[in-house]
Amino acid sequence: MLMKNIRHSLLELATVSKNSTAGEAIARAKEGAEYIDKKNYSRIWLAEHHNMEHIASSATAVLIGHIAQATQRIRVGSGGIMLPNHAPLVIAEQFGTLASIYPGRIDLGLGRAPGTDQLTAMALRRNNLNTAFYFKDDVLELQKLFNPENATAKVRAFPGEGTDVPLWILGSSTDSAYLAAELGLPYAFAAHFAPAMLMQASDIYRQNFKPSAQLQEPYFMVCVNIIAADTNEEAQFLSSSLFNLFAGIVTNHRRPLSAPTEKPIYKGIPEIERAVESMVNCTFIGNQESLANQLKEFIIQVNANEIMHTNYIFDNQKRIKAFDIIDNAFQLINTE
């Protein structure tokens, strides 16, 4: 069977590794971006998170500029900007500035979640947690600010107006699927940590999609976890770093990305095992051929146009090697 041209991309959180600093995490993210810029990757997105000691991507627009400066070809964007944390005008100005510096290379993925805990969300939103209820309105306002036809408005975005920054809707629920379909925008689903509603969201998005000025047909990207190595055995071993990281999330004892262990640190604790499994159900582990087979089946099942993946590998050289293996796996998928 001949596959359609399935694109692949990277989600980068600038995760801080054990015994390293935020500066080193950002340098590692930059090195990875420079590497995949020379490969077949379509885009690299940075994720907005706050009050998380081991994630260095809180100032997302700043980091996008840093990565775009270090690369030549690849699209760089947000996966995502949590729009209720910000005034649409500020985001239009930030991403209009980025698009003015790096024309044709900037994406703006938008999410409704706070990207943090409720107390921090209150600090970000100046004690107004109702902003999440106006997400659709804020997306529409952002579109208006980017539109050159906004030239007669009293409030305009400079830079921003007319920069044609593509908007994406991000989500992990059916609400986001309905919104992306209604607005005729590309849709990215966060299956790398919340896969439960993936199939429903995929169906809802495609069945309800309305063409727009930005997009004539639905475009569905799914974010998953991929751990790649030369052998399936090595990939399984390296994957323990990912599982241990998620164990810290579900137990609220967050840890930096750490070296792999012979077995997950929570092995034998059923409630943690179940919680981690439910979060990382869309995780693909293996060598080039195994990944190609797993991902091909998954892409057909969820009707995806593009796969974005995380790379939670502790050793930086093995992480870089994994980019090659994943890239080659997608070449197999697209030529079979």
**Is the residue at 253 inside a domain?**
no
Q: Is the pLDDT of residue 256 over 80?
A: yes
Q: Check residue 57 and give its pLDDT.
A: 95
Q: Check residue 3 and give its pLDDT.
A: 60
Q: Is the pLDDT of residue 72 over 80?
A: yes
Average per-residue pLDDT in the chain?
Answer: 95
Name the domain count of the chain. 1
261-301 per-position pLDDT tens digit? 999 999 999 999 999 999 999 999 999 999 999 999 999 99
CB 126: neighbour CB atoms within 10 A?
A: 8
2-44 per-position pLDDT tens digit? 467 999 999 999 999 999 999 999 999 999 999 999 999 999 9
Confidence of residue 118 (pLDDT cuts 50, 70, 90): confident
Q: Is the pLDDT of residue 55 over 90?
A: yes
Q: Check residue 114 and give its pLDDT.
A: 83
Block residue for tokens 């920054």: 165
Q: Check residue 230 and give its pLDDT.
A: 98
Domain that holds residue 64: 7-231+283-335
Query: What average pLDDT does this structure show over 140-168?
Result: 97
Q: Check residue 29 and give its pLDDT.
A: 98
Q: Is the pLDDT of residue 188 over 50?
A: yes
CATH code for position 99: 3.20.20.30
CA distance 310 to 317: 16
CA distance 24 to 22: 5
3-state SS string over 84-108? Answer: HHCCHHHHHHHHHHHHHHCCCCEEE
Q: Check residue 1 and give its pLDDT.
A: 41
**pTM assigned to the model:** 0.95
What's the token pair of residue 274?
A: 């179940």
Q: Check residue 113 and give its pLDDT.
A: 87
Residue 70 is inside which H or E element, if any? helix 60-70
Query: What average pLDDT does this structure show over 125-143?
Result: 87
DSSP E strands, the chain: 7-12, 43-46, 75-82, 106-111, 167-171, 187-189, 220-228, 283-286, 306-310
**Among the listed ranges 110-114, 215-219, 303-307, which one has the minimum average pLDDT value?**
110-114
Q: Check residue 132 and give its pLDDT.
A: 75
**Is the residue at 315 inside a domain?**
yes
The answer to whether the CB of 329 falls within 8 A of the CB of 291 is yes
Query: What average pLDDT does this structure show over 206-220?
Result: 98
**Is the residue at 267 inside a domain?**
no
**Is the residue at 249 inside a domain?**
no
**Among the listed ranges 5-9, 122-126, 128-132, 179-183, which one has the minimum average pLDDT value?**
128-132
b (16+ CB within 10 A) / e for 280-314:
bbbbbbbbbebbbbbbbebbeebebbbbbbbbbbb
**Is the residue at 243 inside a domain?**
no
The answer to whether the CB of 217 falls within 8 A of the CB of 301 is no
Q: Quick one: DSSP state of residue 165?
A: P
Q: Check residue 151 and give its pLDDT.
A: 95
Q: State phi, psi for 188 to the nearest 5 degrees.
A: -120, 125
**Is the residue at 135 inside a domain?**
yes
**Is the residue at 100 inside a domain?**
yes
**Is the residue at 265 inside a domain?**
no
Q: Is the pLDDT of residue 52 over 50?
A: yes
